[in-house]
């Protein structure tokens, strides 16, 4: 391994990171073109987005809050994908996790830290089982996981909506559940910031006050830990070795003595657990309850994008999740600032993914450039 500048440049340009960066350039360019055609000034729009991300500490903390669930659902998708499975079901697993966390947070009466641990553990377990169903259906009956997880998504959505209609859980008429117990909150300084001393203190510290205006919580710390965990499991453990072997070549893995079917179930189980953790942190740290869903919220689907843009690795998901969170949060600003549709963000994301999917095209562009450079 050489770490010369040239080697580094080679690595960035020819490696997957380079492909991702080039894809992003395409995504942002196409977004600009779409805005331009629609009669908006793209430079102004991007400036508004940048301002909306960086101009205030509060904005940045919102970006992190937006990014947290996406990072974790991204990890869920990435984990399954490394075993060769497309977990389109992170959405439903997220919903199951959120629902379980909301129920455990509300019904249980437990001391502070323990309550969080129990709620998260239960949420992860239920969501892991939900993901495991898809793994089992694939291993046992050969049902394509793309189809089964999509069906499980909708089933989870309606189950969650049903749970809200139960009198003991949902506040009737509001379409929402009761707020979880304080002991299950994972907000940072959540209580203190509302006490008189807290308000007094914050008045003298405007920067901190600004940050604490947003629902900052421990979720992001957990997301980082989970990203490290995913990286560690995949690259440093025998389990990760097994799952990757199955992902690359199930036939060789089987011949080598690896139980392929078990690996599929385990992989989807863990992926489900991750997505469930995302739902749990969102409930315990941000929403503190769940509400009736008319459509998918999109955390799981966005997680697919996060994973693909992050090259399906732990650290990659962390970065691309932050990027996605920033675009989503910052992108919402152009609606008010210049009446430009915020959905341009989705167009950009879609474009980035389609280019990420075409390394062949990017390689073609790169070699064309270098060939011209020689002549």
Partner 1 sequence: MEALVNDLGFIIGTTLMYSTPLIFTATGSVITERSGIINIGLEGMMYFGAFVGAAVAYFTQDPWIGFLCAGLAGAFLALFHAIATVTFSAEQIVSGIAINFLGPGLALFLSRLFFDGATQTLTIPNKMPLPLNFLFGDGKLFASTGFMDLVFNQFATVYLSIALVFVAWFFLYKTRLGMRLMAVGEHPEAADSLGISVYRIRYGAVMTSGFLAGLGGAAMSIAVVSRFSNTLISGHGFIALAAMIFGKWRPQGALLACLIFGGAKGLEIYLGAKGFPVPSSILATLPYVLTIIILVGWVGRSRPPAAIGKIFDKGEA
Partner 2 sequence: MTSIDFSRKTVEMIDVVKKFGDFVANDRISLTVHKGEVHALLGENGAGKTTLMNCLYGLYRPTEGKIRINGKEVVITDPNVAIHHGIGMVHQHFKLVEPFTVTQNIILGQETTKMMGILDLAAAEKKVSEISEKYGLTVDPRAKIEDISVGSQQRVEILKALYRGAEILILDEPTAVLTPGEIQELVTIIRNLTAEGKTIIIITHKLHEIKQVADYCTIIRRGKFIDTVEVAGVTEHELASKMVGREVSFAVDKRPAQRGERVLAIENLVVKDNRGIQVVNGLSLDLHKGEILGIAGVDGNGQSELIEALMGLRKVQSGRIRMRDKDITNASPKQIISEHSICSIPEDRQKRGLVMEFDVAENLILENYQRRPFSERGVLDHQEIYKFADQCIMEFDVRPQDAQMTAKSLSGGNQQKVIIAREVSNDPEVLVASQPTRGLDVGAIEYVHRALVEQRDRGKAVLLISFELDEIINVSDRIAVIFEGRIVGEVDAENADENNIGLMMAGGRV
* 179 is an interface residue for partner 1 by CB under 8 A: no
* Chosen residue from 295, 372, 374, 375 binding partner 1 by CB under 8 A: 295
Q: 41, 314 in Cβ contact below 8 A?
A: no
Residue 3 binds what, of partner 2, partner 1, none (CB under 5 to 8 Å, by partner type)? none
* Chosen residue from 9, 236, 343, 364 binding partner 2 by CB under 8 A: 236
* Chosen residue from 47, 86, 108, 241 binding partner 2 by CB under 8 A: 241
Minimum distance, C-beta of residue 257 to partner 2, in the bound complex (Å): 3
Q: How far apart are the first and last CA of the chain?
A: 31
Size of the site for partner 2 (CB under 8 A): 19
* 85 is an interface residue for partner 1 by CB under 8 A: no
Residue of 3, 25, 291 lying closest to 161 (CA atoms): 291
* 70 is an interface residue for partner 1 by CB under 8 A: no
* 351 is an interface residue for partner 1 by CB under 8 A: yes
The separation between CA 299 and the C-alpha centre of its own chain, rounded to angstroms, equals 6
Beta-carbon contacts of residue 233 (< 8 Å; ≥ 6 apart): 79, 239, 240, 270
* 367 is an interface residue for partner 2 by CB under 8 A: no
* 137 is an interface residue for partner 1 by CB under 8 A: yes
133-141 contacts, C-beta under 8 A, 24 or more apart? 134/87, 134/89, 134/268, 134/272, 135/85, 135/264, 135/265, 135/266, 135/267, 135/268, 135/269, 136/265, 136/268, 138/85, 138/264, 138/268, 139/260, 139/261, 139/262, 139/264, 139/265, 140/261
Residue 256 binds what, of partner 2, partner 1, none (CB under 5 to 8 Å, by partner type)? partner 2
* 244 is an interface residue for partner 2 by CB under 8 A: yes
Residues of this chain that interact with partner 1 (CB under 8 A) are: 34, 38, 86, 137, 141-144, 146-148, 150-155, 158-159, 161-162, 165, 294-296, 301, 304-305, 308, 335, 339, 341, 343-347, 349-351, 353-354, 356-358, 360-361
């Amino acid at each position: 391994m050489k770490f010369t500048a040239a080697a580094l440049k080679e690595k960035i340009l020819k490696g997957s990171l380079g492909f991702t960066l080039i894809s992003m350039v395409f995504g942002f360019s196409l977004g600009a073109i779409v805005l331009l055609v629609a009669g908006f000034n793209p430079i102004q729009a991007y400036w508004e987005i940048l301002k909306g991300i960086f101009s205030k500490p509060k904005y940045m903390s919102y970006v992190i809050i937006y990014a947290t669930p996406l990072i974790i659902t991204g990890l869920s998708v990435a984990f399954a994908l490394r075993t060769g499975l497309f977990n389109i079901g992170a959405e439903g697993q997220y919903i199951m996790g959120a629902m379980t966390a909301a129920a455990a947070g509300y019904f249980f009466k437990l001391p502070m830290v323990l309550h969080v641990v129990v709620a998260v553990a239960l949420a992860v377990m239920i969501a892991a089982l939900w993901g495991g169903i898809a793994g089992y259906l694939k291993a046992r009956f050969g049902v394509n996981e793309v189809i089964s997880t999509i069906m499980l998504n909708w089933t989870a959505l309606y189950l969650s909506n049903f749970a809200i209609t139960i009198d003991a859980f949902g506040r009737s008429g509001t379409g929402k559940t009761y707020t979880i117990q304080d002991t299950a909150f994972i907000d940072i300084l959540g209580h203190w910031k509302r006490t008189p001393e807290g308000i007094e203190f914050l008045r003298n510290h405007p920067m901190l006050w600004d940050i604490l205006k947003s629902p900052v919580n421990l979720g992001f710390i957990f997301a980082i830990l989970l990203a490290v965990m995913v990286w560690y499991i995949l690259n440093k453990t025998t389990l990760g070795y097994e799952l990757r072997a199955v992902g690359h070549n199930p036939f060789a893995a089987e011949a080598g003595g690896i139980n392929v079917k078990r690996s599929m179930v385990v992989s989807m189980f863990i992926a489900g657990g991750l997505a469930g953790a995302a739902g749990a942190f969102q409930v315990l740290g941000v929403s503190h309850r769940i509400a009736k869903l008319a459509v998918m919220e999109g955390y799981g689907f966005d997680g697919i994008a996060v994973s693909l843009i992050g090259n399906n690795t732990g650290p990659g998901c962390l970065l691309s999740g932050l990027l996605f969170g920033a675009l989503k949060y910052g992108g919402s600003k152009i609606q008010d600032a210049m009446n430009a549709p915020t959905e341009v963000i989705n167009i950009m994301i879609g474009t980035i993914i389609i280019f990420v999917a075409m390394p062949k095209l990017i390689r073609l562009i790169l070699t064309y450039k270098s060939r011209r450079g020689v002549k």
